[in-house]
Amino acid sequence: MKKKILFLVTILLLSCACSNNYLKNINIKNLNQMLDNKESFVLYLTDNDEGKVLKNNLKDVANDNKINIYYLNTVKLNDDELESLKKIFTFDETNIVLFIKDGKEETVLSRISDIYISNSELEQEIKTQGYIEKEN
């Protein structure tokens, strides 16, 4: 019995170690550092209520294309942090994808707010924004 449990635990650990996760959770401090460093990245602001489909699709696209996509759960922010975030990125609702270039969002028009967007449409939009290399 102990051998079976050990075998199952080993398989579970190996399967977890082999799967890369390019969808990365960040906190407000990390986000501010990335913005101050003028980094370019895809950011998903979520409240975890309705955005599970979008989050799963972002994870699939990130893993398939081996690009980091960051997400910030706004529910975990205190009132001051949320107000600070809203001064940087004007928004009323969460579950939106933003495209950050050199530490700034160039336009709100590129945002993705469709929480049911398909993987292929999501991947195409991220390619259009320049975060995934286009094939020739």
Residues 2 and 24: their CA atoms lie apart, in Å, by: 35
pLDDT value for 17: 46
pLDDT value for 48: 79
Distances (CA, A) of 30 to 33, 39, 135: 5, 11, 32
CA angle 65, 68, 69 (to 5 degrees): 105
What is the helix (H) or strand (E) element at residue 72, kind and residue range?
Answer: strand 69-73
Residue ranges of the domains in the chain? 21-128
pLDDT value for 1: 66
Top-tier CATH class for 21-128: alpha beta
Tokens, residue 118: 């398909």
pLDDT, one tens digit per residue, over 72-89 is: 999 999 999 999 999 999
Mean pLDDT of the chain: 89
Burial of 8 (0-12, 13-18, 19+ CB in 10 A): exposed
pTM: predicted TM-score of the whole model, two decimal places: 0.83
Q: What is the pLDDT along the chain (136 residues), one digit of tens a residue?
A: 666 565 555 565 555 444 579 999 999 999 999 999 999 999 999 987 778 899 999 999 999 999 999 999 999 999 999 999 999 999 988 999 999 999 999 999 999 999 999 999 999 999 999 999 876 5
Residues 67 and 58: their CA atoms lie apart, in Å, by: 10
Largest CA distance in the chain: 59
Residues 97 and 43: their CA atoms lie apart, in Å, by: 6
pLDDT, one tens digit per residue, over 117-133 is: 999 999 999 999 999 98
